[in-house]
Amino acid sequence: MSARSDRPVLYLIVCGARPSATAGALVRRVQAAGWEVCVIATPQAMKFIDAPEFEELTGYPVRSEYKLPDEPDVLPPPDALVVAPATFNTINKWAAGITDTLALGLACEIIGMGLPIVAAPFPNTALARHPAFARSVAELRACGVRVLYDPEMYLQLQPGTGPPAVMMFDWDAVFHALTLAVPDHTELPPDP
């Protein structure tokens, strides 16, 4: 990885869901709280985001592919991770330890590093009822991931719901969960 930043570093993994396009709201809020932010996108998320906009906002390239072993890492090491909006696919693969994308590989590694992690799943109501999803949420919670999933509290869309409802994704809840996971970012775990 590249040199350590003098500010805490958040890795934000965005997935292939419509609210990914509005993740800049979280980036700006986390930056205002004194953090550096690096955006990592799943391959499907690249269809939903404006990568140049995130690069301008963060000062770092948006990563979505594994680099070659001899290539230098352009991102500083993370101090915390947010995965939002987390798709049904990402939650299930992550819980199973599948690392077939850079985003999943980093998410699995960061569990092993013991860093603070917040995940905000965004499945539709039909996918949320699939038994694998509940098992995966429970598995991630058992690994120490702060999973923001409660159908009574967080918005769930019906299959095929369009963009207006997506704008209601609760980036404020994600930020609040991050502040609870890392209440004083000066007391983050030491470098591994």
Instruction: Assign 3-class secondary structure to 45-78.
Output: HHHCCCHHHHHHHHCCCCECCCCCCCCCCCCCCC
> What's the pLDDT score for residue 3?
61
CA distance 161 to 129: 17
CA distance 12 to 26: 9
For the domain spanning 9-186, the CATH number is 3.40.50.1950
Out of 21-30, 49-58, 91-100, 155-164, least confident range: 155-164
Structure tokens at 143: 């690994």
pLDDT digits (tens, 9 = 90+) for 115-125: 999 999 988 88
pLDDT at 76 over 60: yes
pLDDT at 87 over 50: yes
> What's the pLDDT score for residue 125?
82
> What's the pLDDT score for residue 191?
41
pLDDT at 192 over 60: no
Model confidence at 186, pLDDT cuts 50, 70, 90, reads: very low
What are residue 10's phi and psi, to 5 degrees?
Answer: -105, 130
Model confidence at 30, pLDDT cuts 50, 70, 90, reads: very high
> What's the pLDDT score for residue 161?
58
pTM equals: 0.88
If you average pLDDT over every residue of the chain, what do you get?
88
pLDDT digits (tens, 9 = 90+) for 125-179: 888 889 999 999 999 999 999 999 876 554 555 555 555 544 568 899 999 999 9
